[in-house]
Amino acid sequence: MKRAIFAAGLAALSWGVVPERAVAQQFPAKPITLIIGFAPGGPSDVMARILTRKMEESLKQTVVIENRAGAGGGIAANAVARAAPDGYTILLATGSSLAINVSLYKNLGYDPEKDFEPISLVGTQTNLLYTHPGSVPAKTFAEFVAYVKANPGKFTFGSGGIGTPAHLAGELLKVEAGIEMTHAPFRGTGQALQSVIGGHVPVAFNPPSPLLPHLESGSLRAIAVTTLQRTPTLPNVPTIAESGYPGFDAATWHALVAPPAVPKDVLATLHKAIRDTLNDAATRKALTDLGVDVVNSSPEQLRAYIKSEIPKWAKVVKASGAKVE
């Protein structure tokens, strides 16, 4: 009898019938795809390339970056929400895709709280209000507000897309400061940046990392940051909150999530990989140099954070009147 049971077990293994736990323990057996919701060259893309270098060492497997830009990260989020629940497709999500979009889109196509398995909150990042010096003579935030007020209806502000924290930072500023500006959404920070450099759009809001060399060269001018605290990346640039608008806060954040129903062992492997990555000194420095405040949370902490961010941004969307046409 024992021989028969043993033989049956061998037969099952030979046919590929392996217990789920054994399969999970083999993960990852092939490259992992990390999808991001914005175009190459933007903050999410730069961050992804920093993260994947160390993640590959931890996972002992290749991590391929795939850019699916559009809908404030919603296109990428929808793709991952519907991906196979095996851990081989994951998302570097933002506050747009997991919080803001809930209030902006009538038919979002996914539920940020139900359609993803949290892995880790990576970090938060400020947005910078910056200008084209040849188009906007203002050098301080007070001068900027005064100049826009003196030229009502003549200003357009750019961002990396509809529904991004950068977009809502501009909409919120319009409400708080009582100024008129028309939003010009681009498919990623890179396009918005180039438009301001070229003088086609006079002002924009974006995370500071890709702007730094242009700020140093003088082709762009930093006016203010949108978080409550100044960023170490630009310590001499004041916050909007300290410039007469207390409580003004429009930060960008990034998190790793997986499709629903991914096995727990696989999620644990992915969480260990990002935890090791964010604990790596070189990686933390690279992220800090981008203006990222590294968080490195547990999955449970990320789940709670997403839950708290949805109503927070709903209030901002309502106050600003922002909407998707």
Residue 17 is predicted with a pLDDT of 42
Summarised one tens digit per residue, pLDDT across range 22-78 is: 444 589 999 999 999 988 887 889 999 999 999 999 999 999 999 998 888 999 999
Instruction: Give the length of the chain.
Output: 325
Mean pLDDT, residues 199-217 taken together: 93
> Quick one: tokens of 261?
């129903």
Strand-pair category, 63-67 with 221-225:
unpaired
Q: Under CATH, which architecture does the 128-243 domain have?
A: 3-Layer(aba) Sandwich (3.40)
Residue 251 is predicted with a pLDDT of 86
Evaluate if residue 3 carries a pLDDT over 90: no
Residue 91 is predicted with a pLDDT of 98
Q: What residue ranges do the domains of the chain occupy?
A: 2-125+252-320, 128-243
Contact in structure between 98 and 112 (CB atoms under 8 Å) = yes
Summarised one tens digit per residue, pLDDT across range 161-186 is: 888 889 999 999 998 999 999 999 98
Confidence of residue 150 (pLDDT cuts 50, 70, 90): very high
Which CATH number is 2-125+252-320 given? 3.40.190.150
Q: Which residues neighbour 151 within 8 Å (Cβ) at sequence distance 6 or greater?
A: none
Percent of the chain with pLDDT over 90: 68
Evaluate if residue 108 carries a pLDDT over 50: yes
Distance set, CA 267 to CA 27, 87, 173, 259 (Å): 10, 7, 39, 10
Domains 2-125+252-320 and 128-243 share a fold: yes
Omega within 30 of 0 (cis) for the link into 259: no
Q: Which residues, listed in sequence order, are joined to residue 89 by a DSSP beta bridge?
A: 33
Say which residue, 188 or 54, is predicted with more confidence. Answer: 54
Kindly report the backbone phi and psi dihedral angles of residue 167, in degrees, each rounded to the nearest multiple of 5, phi listed first.
-60, -50
For residue 35, the tally of other CB atoms under 10 A from its CB is 22
